[in-house]
């Protein structure tokens, strides 16, 4: 199921605070995708020489470190640390742009590459200069033909303009949930399946063609391109001291105007919902981070979108996904459908994915359907606790986080389903679009 038809990609936000519109500045100003000429008029060419520290400027790695940029793909790893790890290795490096966006509820990278592709590509070229790479591989799902055409056109523009000192190559990969994992991309680019590679060496040590490899999310690289131009002090003008800058958030579910918005880190969740037109009906909870994220009850909606504030709730901003669940929906039923999808899309390379995740999904489906036996809840809690930190990748960890948070957030529903069978809301049509729970047809 392609859920893009059920949700607009983006919309304008005249209520955005000053300085909060950075990545989407061209889009907010014109309402149309930026051509290379539009991009060069606003930003100029990528400052490759300046990024290397010439003419008295701060080298890119130092600027990114001072800016406090972290990855926007979900893990939030410090970007400067990844750059330095690759740059310190011997041999010519490789850069990989991760535009896979396999999270079904996310549209941010897809939208970003559609409306401002050259900001992403600038970031990739600048990162390549910083780590000593001669090749940039841009990876996106092969079932997004429009996105492929858009990026092909952008690359052609740059080639005709002889803009880049490195080679840029575009690739279309199988669209599975775990194919966006960094080692999946490297494995596929090396001729293998788009499955995570659990064993060493790590990608920064030996990745594509056995060379040191930097893998960065598309949004992360777009931020990097702005830091290279405007510096860390400018970048830190919005956000929080611990988590500076802006981030893209895909808001969907029970809001008046779903889509992609740009906001400063530290913005309260309620403000994000209000900028999306406000809740369309009273809310029961929000799912933060997507299918591998955390359910937050409505009582916590004043929490800021910042790791420091979300940590006590067991949550993180993740890949910038916010799904509003109406009070009339059954959170257990919605969660069961997502867990079934996650189980079907596991790589099936380790015990937690082959055995543990399907078992948790099956138990949760039984709970949602009101078929719970006397030991189901204790068994489900036990199995969920066994999944984290045991897999070849973090896929089981995300599924466990989703399941555990649902049991916490929907305790009243859990009691009802255990003692009286499914609640009335469980019989309603689904509120959250979930792709079919079928295994991928191909990994190559």
Q: How far apart are CA 185 and CA 164, in angstroms?
A: 23
Residue in the block written with tokens 């990739």: 124
CA distances from 165 to 48, 57, 121, 127 (A): 9, 20, 12, 12
pLDDT by residue (tens digit) across 253-277?
999 999 999 999 999 999 999 999 9
**Gap between the Cα atoms of 325 and 342, Å rounded:** 19
CATH 3.10.20.600 residue window(s) in the chain:
246-326
pLDDT value, residue 38: 96
Looking at domain 331-427, its CATH architecture is Up-down Bundle (1.20)
- Residues 246-326, CATH architecture: Roll (3.10)
Judged by DSSP in three states, 216 sits in: strand
pLDDT digits (tens, 9 = 90+) for 351-365: 889 999 999 999 999
Answer for the pair 172, 132: CB distance below 8 angstroms, yes or no.
Answer: no
- Number of other CB atoms surrounding residue 37 within 10 Å: 11
Closest among 436, 370, 390, 435 to 106, alpha carbons compared: 435
When pLDDT is cut at 50, 70 and 90, the band that residue 235 belongs to is: very high
| Rounded distance between C-alpha atoms, residue 384 and residue 388, angstroms | 8
- 17-21, 112-116, 185-189, 292-296: segment of lowest average pLDDT: 17-21
Beta strands 321-326 and 93-98, pairing class: unpaired
Asked if residues 69 and 222 have their Cβ atoms less than 8 Å apart, the reply is: no
pLDDT at 188 over 70: yes
**What is the average per-residue pLDDT within 230-256?**
96
Tokens for 50?
């300046």
Q: Are 213 and 94 in contact (CB under 8 A)?
A: yes
pLDDT of residue 17: 65
Q: Enter the tokens of residue 179.
A: 């194919």
Q: Identify which has the larger pLDDT, 391 or 128.
A: 128
Q: Which of 51, 83, 55 is nearest to 69 (CA)?
A: 83
Q: What is the mean pLDDT of residues 310-317?
A: 96
Q: Which residues are within 8 A (CB) of 156 and not within 5 positions of it... i.e. 6 or more apart? A: none
| 2-40 confidence digits (pLDDT tens) | 333 344 445 445 456 667 889 999 998 899 999 999 999
In the chain, what percentage of residues exceed pLDDT 90? 86
Least confident among 148-157, 191-200, 397-406, 408-417: 191-200
Residues pairing with 170 in the sheet: 138
Superfamily in which the 3-8+15-235 domain is placed by CATH? NADH-ubiquinone oxidoreductase 51kDa subunit (3.40.50.11540)
- Given a cut of 80, is residue 219 above it in pLDDT? yes
**pLDDT tens for each residue of 148-165:** 999 999 999 999 999 999
Closest CA to 235 of 112, 69, 50: 69
Question: Are 19 and 95 spatial neighbours (Cβ–Cβ below 8 Å)?
Answer: no
- Please report where in the chains the tokens 């600027």 appear, as a residue: 63
SS3 73: coil
| The token pair that represents 314 in the structure block | 């067991």
Where in the chain is CATH 1.20.1440.230?
Answer: 331-427
Q: What is the mean pLDDT of the chain?
A: 92
Sheet with 93-98, side-by-side order of all strands: 167-173, 133-141, 93-98, 213-217
pLDDT, position 20: 82
Q: How far apart are CA 151 and CA 126, in angstroms?
A: 18
How far is it, in rounded angstroms, from Cα 253 to Cα 267? Answer: 19
Q: Tell me the average pLDDT across 175-202.
A: 93
Q: Are the beta carbons of 188 and 215 closer than 8 angstroms?
A: no
CA 296/CA 219 separation, integer angstroms: 25
- pLDDT, residue 1, reads 32
d(CA 190, CA 207): 8
The CATH 3.40.50.11540 domain(s) of the chain lie at 3-8+15-235
Distance CA 250, CA 252 (A): 7
């Amino acid at each position: 199921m392609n859920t893009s038809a059920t949700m607009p990609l983006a919309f304008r936000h005249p209520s955005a605070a000053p300085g909060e519109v950075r990545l989407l500045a061209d889009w907010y100003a014109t309402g149309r995708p930026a051509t290379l000429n539009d991009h060069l008029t606003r930003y100029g060419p990528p400052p490759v020489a300046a990024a290397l520290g010439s003419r008295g400027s701060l080298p890119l790695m130092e600027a990114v470190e001072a800016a406090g940029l972290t990855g926007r793909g979900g893990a939030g790893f410090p970007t400067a640390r990844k750059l330095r790890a690759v740059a310190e290795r011997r041999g010519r490096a490789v850069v990989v742009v991760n535009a896979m966006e396999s999270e079904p509820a996310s549209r941010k990278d897809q939208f970003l590459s559609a409306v401002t592709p050259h900001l992403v590509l600038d970031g990739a070229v600048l990162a390549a200069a910083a780590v000593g790479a001669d090749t940039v591989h841009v990876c996106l799902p092969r079932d997004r033909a429009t996105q492929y055409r858009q990026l092909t056109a952008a690359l052609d523009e740059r080639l005709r303009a002889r803009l880049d000192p490195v080679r840029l190559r575009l690739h279309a990969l199988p669209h599975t949930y775990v194919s966006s994992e960094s080692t999946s991309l490297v494995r596929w680019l090396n001729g293998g399946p788009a499955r995570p590679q659990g064993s060493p060496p790590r990608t920064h040590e030996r990745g594509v063609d056995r060379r040191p490899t930097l893998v960065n999310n598309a949004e992360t690289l777009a931020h990097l391109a702005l830091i290279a131009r405007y510096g860390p002090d400018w970048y830190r003008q919005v956000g929080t001291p611990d988590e500076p800058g802006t981030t893209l958030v895909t808001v969907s579910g029970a809001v008046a105007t779903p889509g992609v918005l740009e906001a400063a880190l530290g913005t309260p969740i309620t403000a994000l919902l209000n900028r999306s037109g406000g809740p369309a009906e009273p809310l029961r909870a929000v799912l933060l981070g997507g299918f591998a994220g955390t359910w937050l009850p409505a009582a916590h909606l004043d929490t800021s979108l910042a790791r420091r504030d979300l940590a006590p709730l067991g949550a993180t901003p993740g890949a910038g996904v916010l799904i509003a669940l109406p009070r009339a929906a059954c959170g257990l039923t919605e969660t069961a459908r997502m867990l079934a999808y996650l189980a079907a899309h596991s790589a099936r390379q380790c015990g937690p994915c082959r055995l543990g995740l399907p078992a948790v999904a099956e138990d949760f489906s039984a709970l949602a359907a009101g078929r719970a036996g006397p030991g189901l809840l204790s068994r489900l809690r036990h199995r969920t606790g066994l999944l984290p930190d045991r897999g070849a990748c973090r896929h089981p960890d995300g599924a466990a986080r989703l399941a555990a948070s649902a049991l916490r957030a929907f305790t009243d529903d859990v009691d009802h389903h255990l003692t009286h069978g499914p609640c009335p809301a469980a019989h309603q049509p689904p509120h959250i679009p979930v792709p079919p729970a079928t295994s991928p047809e191909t990994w190559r």
